[in-house]
Amino acid sequence: MITGTKVTLRMFEESDLDAYAKIVNNLSNATPYWPSGLQPKANLKKEFSENSFWKDDYKLLLVTDKDGKMIGEVDTFKSSPNIKGPEVGFRMFEKKNMGRGFMSEALRLFSAYLFQTDSTYLRLTLLIHSKNTASLKVAEKCGYKKEGTLRNAWADYSTGIPHSDEILSLLRDESPSLIDLLQKQ
């Protein structure tokens, strides 16, 4: 568990499955910049029973508020094989919790945690839709720097219209240490 001033990051527990399945399958929470397909609870349960959402090439932490309510998630997944460090993803679940500084703190803590726990990581990578202003702002507030644009990176599921992503990275020596972050609170 990683406890900040506004949020806590913690591992997923079996007892989270019901609430999590409800959140991710409530398409009223869908936003333009996050895949919004339905995920059967049975599939989530099966995957959780296999790896607890914590394996070499995929790690998920829940973000909770001070009352312990699940408000978002951060994750990592493998990027291109030669890149020394994973790609990072993040999202808040509900609009009512956005814009309150939660994800800026969560991403800063998560990034520091990742560097602290794997000495092979040279960098963390984010791919963010070029028009996702809030997400770009969160990344920049956490020290990530823009490297370029992945043009026509993916296509909209329903229309096929291509979208571009900005590539951002945080290098090991650009991240505060987790201990420093936790002590400064």
Give the residues lining the site for ligand COA (CB under 6 A): 31, 33-34, 90-92, 98-104, 128, 132-135, 137-138
Region for 130 from its dihedrals, namely left if φ exceeds 0, alpha if ψ lies in -120 to 50, beta otherwise: alpha
Q: Within a 10 A sphere around the Cβ of 124, how many other Cβ atoms?
A: 26
Please, which residue, 12 or 93, has the CB nearer to ligand COA? 93
For the CB of residue 90, give the shortest distance to ligand COA in the complex, in Å: 5
Q: Which is nearer to ligand COA, 99 or 162 (CB)?
A: 99
Q: How far is the CB of 4 from ligand COA (least distance, A)?
A: 11
Kindly state the smallest distance separating residue 82's Cβ from ligand COA, in Å: 23
- Closest by CA to 6, choosing from 66, 96, 62, 73, is 66
CA distance 97 to 7: 12
Alpha-carbon separation of residue 100 from 1, 113, 129, 144, 149 (angstroms): 21, 22, 21, 20, 28
Q: Looking at beta carbons only, is 103 or 178 nearer to ligand COA? A: 103
Task: In angstroms, give the least distance from the CB of 124 to ligand COA.
Answer: 13
Nearer to ligand COA among residue 92 and residue 124 (C-beta)? 92
Identify the residue whose tokens are 């998560």.
110
Please, which residue, 75 or 174, has the CB nearer to ligand COA? 75
Between CA 125 and CA 72 the distance in angstroms is 19
- For residue 42, the minimal CB distance to ligand COA (Å) is 25
